[in-house]
Copies of this chain bind each other. A is one copy, B any other.
C-alpha cells in the first residue's frame, strides 16, 4: 500500500512577512507535509492538538483525504509558533514558541497504521522519532527530518536514529553542523556513511541537492516573483518528495530525481500563500505545469559545436 504515515507537529502559526500577516493559521510539520503529500497518495498523520484547535484547520486536511485518526485531542493549549520574516524573506526571527500540549507528546501509532510501508518522521525529538520506529512493523522506506536544536542537544540519539532511516532531509546549515564538514558534497558522504542511503540537502531559494549511492542531482528553487510566506516550504518539499515516491512505489534513482523536483514544486507552492492555503486550490494540472517549468529551466542540449 502506498499510504504514508507521517508523524510531526500540528500547530497554529502566527506569521508576519513584508506582504502581510496571519494569526493562528494551520501549521506544523505534519500539516504542511500532509497538505502537499495528499496530492500524490493517501496520508495518515499522527500528532496532537489542544482543546482550542479549530475544527476548520483539521477539516481542511480531512477534506483533502488526509486520515486524522492518529491525531489526538488533548486538554490544554495547542502548539503555537510565531515568526517574522525580513525584507528579502531569507532571514526569519522566531517571536515565540509555546509548546502547549506538544510538550508531552508521545506519538501513539494506531494499530491499523502499524503496517505502514512509507514513513515520514517530521522534525521532533529524535527520541520520539525512534519510538515511532519501534511501533511500526516493517516499513519499506523511512524518511526523516531534523533541526539544529536536536543536532546540538540530542546528537547521540540522533546518530542512533540515522542508522535506521533510509532518507535524511536536512537544510545546508544542518548538514554542515551534523557532519562538521563545510563542503556539502563531503557532508552528504559523511551522512550516508552513518546510515541513510539517500540524503537531500535543501538550500531554500537555491533549490535542493539529492545524493544517492552514485548520483548527485540538483533541482533549482522556483523563481517566484511574489513570495507571500515561506513557512512550511521545507515540510511541503518533503511531502512532494515522499508523496511522489509512495505513489510511484519506487525509490529507484530515476524516481528519486523526479521526486526532488516534485519536492521543489510543492515547496514553491507553499510560499505562495499564508499557511497551507495554496494546497487547497491546487490541482494536478498546476503541479504538472510547475514540474514542466522546472524541466524547461534546467534542460540543455549538450553538443560540441564545430571546433574553432
A184 to B223, CA, bound (A): 8
Assembly CA distance A246 to B217 (angstroms)? 30
Report whether A218 and B297 are in contact in the complex, using a CB–CB cutoff of 8 Å. yes
CB of A220 within 8 A of CB of B223, answer no
Q: Are B302 and A295 in contact (CB under 8 A)?
A: yes
A221-259 vs B: 1/0 string, CB under 8 Å? 001111100000000000000001001100000100110
A209 in the interface, Cβ–Cβ < 8 Å? Answer: yes
A305/B223 in contact, CB under 8 A: no
B41 touches A217 (CB 8 A): no
Rounded to whole Å, the gap between the CB of A63 and the closest CB of chain B is 17
**What's the tally of chain A residues with a CB closer than 8 Å to chain B?**
51
Question: For the complex, is A163 an interface residue (Cβ under 8 Å from B)?
Answer: no
- With A217-B298, A302-B291, A304-B288 as contacts: A209 and B185 at CB distance below 8 Å: no
What B residues does A186 contact at CB under 8 A? 225
Question: Is A176's CB within 8 Å of the partner chain B?
Answer: yes
Min distance, Cβ A19 to any Cβ of chain B, angstroms: 11
Contact across chains for B218 and A207 when beta carbons are under 8 A apart? yes
Q: Which residues of B contact A216 (CB under 8 A)?
A: 223, 297
With CB as the reference atom, state the residue of chain B lying closest to A257: B300
Contact between A300 and B42 (Cβ–Cβ < 8 Å)?
Answer: no
Closest to A302 in B: B295
How far is B215's CA from A72's CA once the two chains are assembled, in angstroms? 48
Chain B: minimal CB distance from A2 (Å): 7
Residues of B within 8 A of A32 (CB): none
Whether the Cβ atoms of B304 and A295 lie closer than 8 Å is: no
Q: Does A206 belong to the interface (CB within 8 Å)?
A: yes
Contact of A220 among B218, B224, B254 (CB under 8 A): B218
Within 8 A of B (CB), among A275-307: 288, 291-292, 295-302, 304-305
Q: Could you tell me the distance in whole angstroms from the C-beta of A141 to the nearest C-beta in chain B?
A: 16
Contact of A292 (CB < 8 Å), options: B40, B248, B298, B302? B302
**A89 sits at the interface (CB 8 A):** yes
Taking each of A209, A218, A288, A291, which has the highest tally of chain B beta carbons within 10 Å of its own beta carbon?
A218
A261 close to chain B: CB less than 8 A: yes
**A76 CB-CB contact with B under 8 Å:** no
CB-CB < 8 A to A182: which residues of B? 87-89
Flag whether A164 is at the interface (Cβ < 8 A).
no
* Nearest CB on B from A150, distance (A): 22
Please provide the 10 A-B residue pairs with the shortest distance between their CB atoms, ordered closest to farther. A88-B182, A218-B220, A206-B206, A185-B223, A257-B300, A298-B298, A248-B305, A185-B225, A295-B302, A218-B297
Residues in A lying within 8 Å of B, measured CB to CB: 2, 40-42, 87-89, 176, 182-186, 203, 205-207, 209, 215-220, 223-227, 244, 247-248, 254, 257-258, 260-261, 288, 291-292, 295-302, 304-305, 308
A/B interface sample: 8 pairs, CB < 8 A: A88-B183, A183-B224, A185-B225, A206-B206, A244-B305, A295-B300, A298-B298, A299-B299
